[in-house]
């Protein structure tokens, strides 16, 4: 069982696509390899045939003893459009995205980066309890988000906030969730960075990871797969666009493995220098970063310059700081929201517990931080 290789954190959209956009039609008898074969008719059983008779197997016999090398990890090539300096390698792969779209990609990544740095610092100062940055992985988020329709349902894991940023999730709501304040759509129930937004079709993030990793690679499951350079926004875009088109047209899932590198620590509870070298981190930060590669592209197109860079950096920092200060001042939600949404309807026993807390607070309220919570 491919348990051992489930360690590779595979970012994929196929669940979202397959659940939101199409039914997964399994064609009878078509296991293993390409689903592009037409459906097999039920074979007439004939014991005269020397071929394998195992139901569902389409393989031939072999008389040579040979183990199959699990070389899949090093074997699958990585699709890219830009080199590390942001230059298009093969012009026919250039998606020719309009200027506004490329600027939107760039600004989403950089605004996310600015927000990350400020919120990471704020955790260090004890203002929020926890935070996770997205450093280095921004390209996978926005490249894929840009290739989807805004109504495509996304099931993200905790390091994919760029999808929300691209979909114009307001800074106020990012902050509200981190602060668990009264504006948090999640009602203050989850740790920071567990964002969700029904309006933007982004399913609320949860912490557990093992529930979200496919237990085998795409080919092992008979899923059409591609590996892309996740730090190349155009490669991610192209692959996602094509995967989506075909998934909808052909009614089958597509697996995109976007290779990237997590530059930041796992979270504010982690110091990654304990298990990796600073040199390695520096390489990715300076030599192969999705934001700088896209910026090189923008510069070479004449769509961006140092002036705009300076102005944007200032503007984005100001926007984040404003949202941050406002979020910090808001009260937390009413403690009654501790009890709602466990089920769609509140069970009687739970209502009794809610009432007992209310009574308890009447007598012992001075021992609780009620001043910070909505009345």
Which one of the spans 15-23, 90-98, 195-203, 352-360 is the region binding other proteins (CB under 8 A)? 352-360
Nearer to other proteins, 205 or 252 (CB): 205
Total H helices, total E strands in the chain: 12, 5
User: Mind spelling out the 3-state secondary structure of 148-185?
Assistant: CCCCCCEECCCCCHHHHHHCCCCHHHHHHHHHCCCCCC
Site residues for other proteins, 51-90, by CB under 8 A, read 73-74
The one-character DSSP state at 260 is -
What does the block give as tokens for 358? Answer: 């209310």
Helix (H, G, I), strand (E, B) or coil at 88: strand
Q: Does 183 bind other proteins (CB under 8 A)?
A: no
Question: To 10 degrees, what angle do helices 233-250 and 138-147 make?
Answer: 40
Nearer to other proteins, 135 or 166 (CB): 135
Side-chain-side CA neighbours of residue 224 (13 Å): 18
Per-residue contact string for residues 307-336; x = within reach of other proteins by CB under 8 A = --x---x----------x-------xx-x-
Q: Does 367 bind other proteins (CB under 8 A)?
A: yes
Q: What gap in Å lies between CA 221 and CA 173, rounded to an integer?
A: 38
Determine which residue in the list 124, 245, 314, 318 makes contact with other proteins, applying CB under 8 A: 124
Per-residue contact string for residues 186-225; x = within reach of other proteins by CB under 8 A = --xxxx--x-----------xxxxxx-x-x----------
Nearer to other proteins, 116 or 152 (CB): 116
Site residues for other proteins, 15-54, by CB under 8 A, read none
In the bound complex, what is the minimum distance in angstroms from residue 118's beta carbon to other proteins?
Answer: 7
Site residues for other proteins, 275-294, by CB under 8 A, read 275-277, 279-283, 285-287, 289, 291-292
CB contact at 8 A, 248 and 98: no
Determine which residue in the list 125, 151, 344, 362 makes contact with other proteins, applying CB under 8 A: 125
Determine which residue in the list 104, 265, 303, 319 makes contact with other proteins, applying CB under 8 A: 265
**Catalytic annotation, residues:** 121, 207, 266-267
CB contact at 8 A, 240 and 142: no
CB contact at 8 A, 111 and 316: yes
Determine which residue in the list 108, 110, 238, 252 makes contact with other proteins, applying CB under 8 A: 110
In the bound complex, what is the minimum distance in angstroms from residue 185's beta carbon to other proteins?
Answer: 13
What does the block give as tokens for 138? Answer: 């921004």
Helix (H, G, I), strand (E, B) or coil at 332: strand
């Amino acid at each position: 069982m491919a348990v051992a290789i489930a360690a590779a954190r595979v970012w994929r959209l196929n669940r979202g696509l397959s659940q939101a956009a199409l039914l997964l039609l399994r064609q009878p008898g078509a296991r293993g390899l390409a689903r592009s074969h037409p459906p097999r008719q039920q074979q007439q059983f004939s014991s005269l045939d020397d071929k394998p008779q195992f139901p569902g197997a389409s393989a031939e016999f072999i008389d040579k003893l040979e183990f199959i090398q699990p070389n899949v990890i090093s074997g699958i090539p990585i699709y890219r459009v830009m080199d590390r300096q942001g230059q298009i390698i093969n012009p026919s792969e250039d998606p020719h995205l309009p200027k506004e779209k490329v600027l939107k990609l760039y600004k989403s990544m950089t605004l996310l980066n600015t927000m990350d740095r400020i919120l990471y610092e704020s955790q260090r100062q004890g203002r929020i309890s926890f935070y996770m940055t997205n450093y280095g992985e921004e390209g996978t988020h926005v490249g894929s988000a840009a290739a989807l329709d805004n109504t495509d349902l996304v099931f993200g894991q905790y390091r994919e906030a760029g999808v929300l940023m691209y979909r114009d999730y307001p800074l106020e709501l990012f902050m509200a969730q981190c602060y668990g304040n009264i504006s948090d759509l999640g009602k203050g129930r989850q740790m920071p960075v567990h964002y969700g937004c029904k309006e933007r079709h982004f399913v609320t993030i949860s912490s557990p990871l093992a529930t979200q990793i496919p237990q085998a690679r795409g080919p092992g499951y008979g899923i059409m797969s591609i590996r892309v350079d996740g730090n190349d926004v155009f490669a991610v875009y192209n692959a996602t666009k094509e995967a989506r088109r075909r998934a909808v047209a052909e009614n089958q899932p597509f697996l995109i493995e976007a290779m990237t590198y997590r530059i930041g620590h796992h979270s504010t509870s982690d110091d990654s220098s304990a298990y990796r070298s600073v040199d390695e981190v520096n390489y990715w930060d300076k030599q192969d970063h999705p934001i700088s590669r896209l910026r090189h592209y923008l510069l070479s197109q004449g769509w961006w310059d140092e002036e705009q860079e300076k102005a944007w950096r200032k503007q984005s920092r100001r926007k984040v700081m404003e949202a941050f200060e406002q979020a910090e001042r808001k009260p937390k939600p009413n403690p009654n929201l501790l009890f709602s949404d466990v089920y769609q309807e509140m069970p009687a026993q739970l209502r009794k517990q809610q009432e007992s807390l209310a009574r308890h607070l009447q007598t012992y309220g001075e021992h609780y931080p009620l001043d910070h919570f909505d009345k």
